[in-house]
């Protein structure tokens, strides 16, 4: 039922949590603008958006995984492995077109590996990907062999730094990825099946949904999106270091949870994920601008998770709030 109701949502239509996140973003922007004269500048806005690109792409994939009751804690290192492939291609002959393909391909392949263990091996996703996290990390070390890929040619950077009709390429890619995932989720049987699996895998199986196929494909989609994120990473930094992506998985999970996707599956919000990523980045940026040391940033992330979800849990208990919500 839940899934069917959500099918009616428009591309950018929003529910209660999503409105609160939007209000929180705007409120934060207003407060920071008052507190710091340097906040509301176009340069700073560009900085915030630029720093959200990888997390947005990975977050979209993570949204799908959580919505079907899965998870992937190794996703940051998958980005690292894809980045190594891109870096090697780029370093060999500087051909940016081949490099564009390398990321998504390696991402998809690793998605297949993860899916083989988790889906075909029927191992709980959190533990299975925890094991793979270790394996992938060793692969990163061995492939890099202690040397970073440094000073990569700028051909890929130049290609992705262009604008089409005045819109920067990264923004276009993110909008395209968003629309593609949204369409798959809300306008195809795939999305319906995904949410049904998230609600109850057992019931989904009994009603004839190809559970294994859907779950397998979702891990591959997440891998592809991560590969695209890796492409932007390499284009931006022209450097692949050993610690690449080590904090991304937990950040992505945090953003998706903030956005209102349930980790029990069955409920999912793409626009919520986008707003969750932006809220995290806006707060990290703004707090530094008003002089809070960067070491406090993880604390802010944690307080935000507990605060937002805790507040929702409490407010659900008061009938007045529910009444107001029903009327709205």
Q: Which of residues 25-54 bind other proteins (CB under 8 A)?
A: 36, 38-39, 41, 43-44, 47, 50-51, 54
Q: Find the length of the chain.
A: 328
In whole angstroms, what is the distance from residue 30 CA to residue 53 CA?
23
Among 296, 281, 298, residue whose Cα is nearest residue 24: 281
CB of 62 to other proteins, least distance (A): 13
2 contributes a contact to other proteins by CB under 8 A: no
Considering only residues 151 to 210 of the shown chain, the ones binding other proteins according to CB under 8 A are: 151
225 contributes a contact to other proteins by CB under 8 A: no
Tokens, residue 263: 């980790």
Residue choice 138, 158, 163, 207 for contact with other proteins (CB under 8 A): 138
319 contributes a contact to other proteins by CB under 8 A: no
112 contributes a contact to other proteins by CB under 8 A: no
Q: How far apart are the first and last CA of the chain?
A: 22
In whole angstroms, what is the distance from residue 174 CA to residue 188 CA?
20
CB of 12 to other proteins, least distance (A): 26
- Helices 75-93/211-237 angle, 10° precision: 50
In whole angstroms, what is the distance from residue 43 CA to residue 28 CA?
18
Q: Looking at beta carbons only, is 16 or 310 nearer to other proteins?
A: 310
DSSP three-state, residue 124: coil
In whole angstroms, what is the distance from residue 231 CA to residue 100 CA?
7
Alpha-carbon dihedral 89, 243, 220, 99, rounded to 10 degrees: -20
114 contributes a contact to other proteins by CB under 8 A: no
Binding part of the chain for other proteins, among 2-10, 179-187, 266-274, 308-316 by CB under 8 A, reads: 308-316
Considering only residues 284 to 303 of the shown chain, the ones binding other proteins according to CB under 8 A are: 284-285, 288-291, 293-299, 301-303
**Cβ neighbours of residue 119 closer than 8 Å, sequence gap 6 or more:** 212, 215, 216, 219
Phi–psi pair at 240, nearest 5 degrees: -120, 115
CB of 328 to other proteins, least distance (A): 23
- Helices 248-258/53-67 angle, 10° precision: 70
Q: Looking at beta carbons only, is 52 or 218 nearer to other proteins?
A: 52
69 contributes a contact to other proteins by CB under 8 A: no
In whole angstroms, what is the distance from residue 196 CA to residue 228 CA?
28
CB of 237 to other proteins, least distance (A): 5
CB of 285 to other proteins, least distance (A): 5
Binding part of the chain for other proteins, among 22-30, 95-103, 132-140, 199-207 by CB under 8 A, reads: 132-140
Taking CA atoms, 191 is separated from 185, 188, 239, 275, in Å, by 4, 6, 37, 21
CB of 149 to other proteins, least distance (A): 10
Residue choice 60, 81, 84, 133 for contact with other proteins (CB under 8 A): 133
CB of 165 to other proteins, least distance (A): 21
Residue choice 22, 95, 169, 241 for contact with other proteins (CB under 8 A): 241
Q: Looking at beta carbons only, is 214 or 235 nearer to other proteins?
A: 235
* Continuous H helices in 116-188: 125-144, 155-160, 169-187
Q: Looking at beta carbons only, is 89 or 254 nearer to other proteins?
A: 254
CB of 186 to other proteins, least distance (A): 25
113 contributes a contact to other proteins by CB under 8 A: no
Applying CB under 8 A, the site for other proteins has a residue count of: 78
In whole angstroms, what is the distance from residue 233 CA to residue 213 CA?
30
């Amino acid at each position: 039922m839940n899934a069917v109701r959500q099918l009616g949502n428009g591309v950018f239509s929003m529910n209660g949590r999503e409105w609160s996140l939007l209000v929180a973003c705007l409120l934060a922007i207003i407060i920071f603008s008052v507190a710091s004269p340097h906040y509301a500048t176009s340069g700073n806005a560009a900085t915030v958006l630029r720093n959200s690109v990888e997390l947005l792409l990975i977050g979209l994939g993570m949204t799908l995984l959580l919505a079907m009751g899965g998870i992937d804690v190794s996703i940051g290192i998958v980005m690292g492995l894809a980045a190594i492939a891109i870096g090697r291609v780029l370093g060999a002959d500087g051909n940016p077109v081949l490099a564009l393909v390398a990321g998504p391909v390696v991402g998809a392949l690793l998605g297949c590996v993860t899916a083989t263990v988790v889906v075909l091996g029927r191992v709980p996703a959190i533990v299975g990907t925890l094991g793979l996290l270790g394996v992938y990390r060793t692969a990163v070390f061995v492939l890099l062999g202690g040397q970073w890929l440094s000073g990569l040619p700028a051909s890929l950077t130049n290609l992705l730094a262009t604008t089409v009709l005045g819109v920067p390429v990264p923004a276009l890619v993110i909008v395209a990825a968003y629309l593609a995932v949204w369409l798959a989720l809300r306008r195809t049987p795939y999305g319906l099946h995904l949410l049904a699996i998230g609600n109850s895998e057992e019931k989904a199986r009994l009603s004839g949904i190809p559970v294994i196929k859907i779950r397998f494909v979702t891990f591959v989609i997440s891998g592809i999106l991560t590969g695209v994120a890796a492409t932007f990473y390499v284009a931006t930094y022209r450097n692949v270091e050993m610690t690449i992506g080590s904090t991304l998985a937990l950040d992505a999970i945090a953003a998706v949870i903030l956005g209102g996707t349930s980790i029990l599956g069955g409920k999912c919000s793409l626009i919520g994920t986008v707003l969750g990523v932006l809220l995290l980045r806006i707060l990290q940026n703004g707090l530094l601008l008003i002089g809070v040391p960067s070491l406090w940033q993880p604390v802010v992330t944690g307080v935000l998770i507990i605060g937002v979800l805790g507040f929702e849990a409490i407010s659900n208990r008061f009938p007045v709030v529910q009444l107001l919500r029903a009327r709205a």
